[in-house]
Amino acid sequence: MRSLHRHTAAATAVAAAVALVVSGCAGSGKAAQSAESASSGAAGSSPGSGASPAASGSGSASGASAGGVKQGGTLTIQGDSGNPTLVENFNPLVPTELGGTRLIYEPLAIASTVDGTFTQFLAASQKFTSPTTLEFTLRDGVKWSDGKPFSAADVTFTFDLLKKYPALDTTGVWTQLSKVESKGNIVTATFKAPNVPFESTVAQVPIVPEHLWSSGLPADPSKFANTKPVGTGPFTLSSFAPTSYTLTKNADYWNAANIAPSQVDYPAQSSNQSTNQLNVASGKFDWSYNFLPNVQQTYISRGANRSYWFPPGGTIGLFLNLTKEPYNDPNFRQGISHLLDRDTIAKKAVNGYLGAASTTGLILPNLEKWLDPSIPDKGMITQDAKKAGDYFAKAGYTMSGGQLTKDGKQADLTITLPNNYSDWVAAANEVKAELSAGGINVTLDEPSAAQYTTKIQSGNFDGAFGGFGGTGVPYNDFNNALNSSFAAPIGTATVNNFERFKSPETDAALASLAAATDEAAQQAATNKIQQQMFTQLPIIPLYYGGSWGLFQTTHFTGWPSAEDPYTLPTPYNQMSLLVVSRLKAVG
């Protein structure tokens, strides 16, 4: 399965403290391609405007600026996890492909996972000509790495392929589209219903060459390994070995002048997470992605020219089962929310690298511009036993003898979480301690990840830890988490909205956000949703999960940072194309 490939995460023998800490922070992750795109969205772009304004904003990468950047040197990226060795797979349409595939194939455009800002690739520009019609104008003069010209037919061919083989459509584009057509260098995607934020998902489908893929594919193309990849991207595959592979620069790339590395090495990760940490600490990679304890001591001070950026990549929250008493009572949820000391929870869970989460559901500061100013204190809730007591009283509970009781029965809560997500486990222990102090009888249920997934999807839980958000696009974050259309009956599996929140107000706000084409309307709808989150608390946000970028600036600079947060520092998904396009050689 996919996840294996990406970070070592839980997949490996000596599983993975680290990636686990990541867990829950969205926006990272292998199939992130799918994840992001499934949700990435229109945030910054105004669909109506011809060329996305973001395109120009994204700097030299897409700009093909005249002089270009200083070239040369080898970029070493902490590669895919070898389990136990790398499996040659450069099929951009499956989630099991190797990370380097992202530098070989390009999508039409990529939305930043920080704030949804677009950077243009195969499409020079894109716009919604109507709320259901998305039009891409393709870049001229693009060639496949075998010298054949790229055309609109390749784009329609790729979309048709996804339609024909649902197993390839991991982002579900055909759940929203009705057709994709081309005319000249214009590709038009028609939606079944207005869904502006879905732009990023459509734009981020990697485009494959029709002349090579139209015949000779195996009966099940999701099992096609594509060992001789031909793409339009800045790099081509030069060598593959089971423990590492190397890409070299595509000299004919349309933006070659702005691509600094002449070569990219992807040495495989060890299946042992702590070995990976040791490798990172000893400076084997220019760009790595690992949680490191005491990063200042273990990484920064261990060598010169090192930096890190641990931005929030998702929200970790306590999901209560909204089909059950008393969890379906917003007052009860508010009571719980006010019993929690989120700073302490964050400190235990993520070493204080990241902080408490806003109950608006927005990831701050990434999406700060969307904050509803009417919500006090950015939606941050501080521990307040008295307020909590008031809420519990409204829910019919009273404190007696240190126990929170209703009709003589103590409030109890079983929290389900996977036993191998160490940050969640640490957070859950703290949550348990704090809620117990508040008189609730808390039990932790910690099954394997697979059983956890089964439980939460089928709705077989009281409370559960979960992650949401991190796509960079508020609509996608909220839609996945709150849309009542996902709220399947108990016993039927659903990935999204597994807390089973049903609110006509929220659904209406989501619908208007999906159809909104101007920023004011988008802001208004987003505010409504934030207020729903803040007052109803369908999910109780706890803290932000991190995205763990570690960089060496010895060979290249231009990494994403707090000062220049152009995307999350995740080398294993399409963000790598964004980052590599921005690098500058040192010296």
Partner 1 sequence: MRYVTRKVVLFVLTFWAALTLNFALPRLMPGSPLDAALGNLQANGVQVTNAMRDAMAAQLGGAEGNWLSQYFSYLGNTLRLNFGTSFSFPTQTVSHTILQALPWTVCLVGVTTIIAFVLGTLLGVYAGWRRGTAADSTVTLGATLFSAFPPFWFGMLLLYVFAFKFQIFASQGGYSPGLTPNLSLSFLSDAVQHSILPAVTLTVTSLSGWVFGMRNNMINTLGEDYVTFAEANGLRSRTIALLYAARNAMLPNITAFGLSLGAVVGGSVLVEGIFGYPGLGNLLYIAVLNHDYPLMQALFLVITVSMLVTIFVVDLLYVRFDPRVRREVIA
Partner 2 sequence: MSITATATPPPADGTAAVTGGPSRLPDGLTPILFLGRALRTLWSNGKARIGLVLLVFFVLLAVFAPLIANHSPTSTDFVPYQNPNAENWLGTTGAGNDVFSQMVYGARVSLLVGLSAGILATLVAVTLGLISGYRPGPTDEVIGFITNLALVIPGLPLMIILAAYLPSRSVWTIVLVVAFTSWATGARVIRSQAVTLRTRDFVTSAAFSGERMLRIVFREILPNMTSLVAASFFSAATAAVMAEASLEFLGLGNPETVSWGTILHFAQQQNALLTGQWVLVFAPGLAIALLAVSFTLINFGVDALSNPRLREKTS
Q: In the window 218-277, what residues touch partner 1 (CB under 8 A)?
A: 222-225, 239, 241-244, 246, 265, 267-272, 274-275
Residues in binding contact with partner 1, number by CB under 8 A: 98
Binding segment (CB under 8 A) for partner 1, from list 80-88, 251-259, 371-379, 524-532 = 80-88
**420 forms part of the interface with partner 2 (CB under 8 A):** yes
Binding partner 2 (rule: CB under 8 A), the pick from 61, 98, 259, 281 is: 281
* One character per residue 38-67, x = contact with partner 1 (rule: CB under 8 A): xx----------------------------
**82 forms part of the interface with partner 1 (CB under 8 A):** yes
- The residues, ordered by sequence, that sit 6+ positions from 548 with a Cβ below 8 Å of its Cβ are 18, 21, 22, 289, 290, 291, 292, 308, 310, 569
Binding segment (CB under 8 A) for partner 1, from list 55-63, 324-332, 427-435, 490-498 = 490-498
Min separation Cβ 438 and partner 2, Å: 17
- Amino acid identity of residue 471, one-letter, is T
Binding segment (CB under 8 A) for partner 2, from list 153-161, 273-281, 462-470, 491-499 = 273-281
Alpha carbons 472 and 43: distance in angstroms, whole number:
7
H or E element, residue 129: strand 123-130
Find the Cα–Cα–Cα–Cα dihedral 43, 47, 48, 50, rounded to 10°. 110
Binding partner 1 (rule: CB under 8 A), the pick from 94, 108, 371, 395 is: 94
* String of DSSP letters for 441-479: EEEEE---HHHHHHHHHHT--SEEEEEE--SS-HHHHHH
What is the three-class DSSP state of 349? helix
Alpha carbons 382 and 223: distance in angstroms, whole number:
50
Contact criterion met (CB below 8 Å) for 263 and 249:
yes
Binding partner 2 (rule: CB under 8 A), the pick from 172, 330, 365, 447 is: 447
**303 forms part of the interface with partner 1 (CB under 8 A):** no
- For 196, 421, 437, 463, the CA distances from 176, given in Å and listed in that order, are 11, 33, 47, 32
Reference 24, options 313, 365, 323, 451; nearest CA is 313
- Amino acid identity of residue 540, one-letter, is I
**470 forms part of the interface with partner 1 (CB under 8 A):** yes
* One character per residue 296-335, x = contact with partner 2 (rule: CB under 8 A): -xx-------------------------------------
Binding partner 1 (rule: CB under 8 A), the pick from 132, 496, 522, 552 is: 496
Binding partner 2 (rule: CB under 8 A), the pick from 78, 255, 277, 359 is: 277
According to DSSP, residue 143 is labeled: B
The site partner of 468 among partner 1, partner 2, none (C-beta below 5 to 8 Å per kind) is: partner 1
Binding partner 2 (rule: CB under 8 A), the pick from 36, 210, 265, 430 is: 430
- Angle between helix 422-437 and helix 342-350 axes, rounded to 10 deg: 150
> Where does this chain bind partner 2 (CB under 8 A)?
10, 13-18, 20, 273-274, 277-278, 281, 292-294, 297-298, 348, 351, 419-420, 422, 425-426, 429-430, 433, 444, 446-448, 451
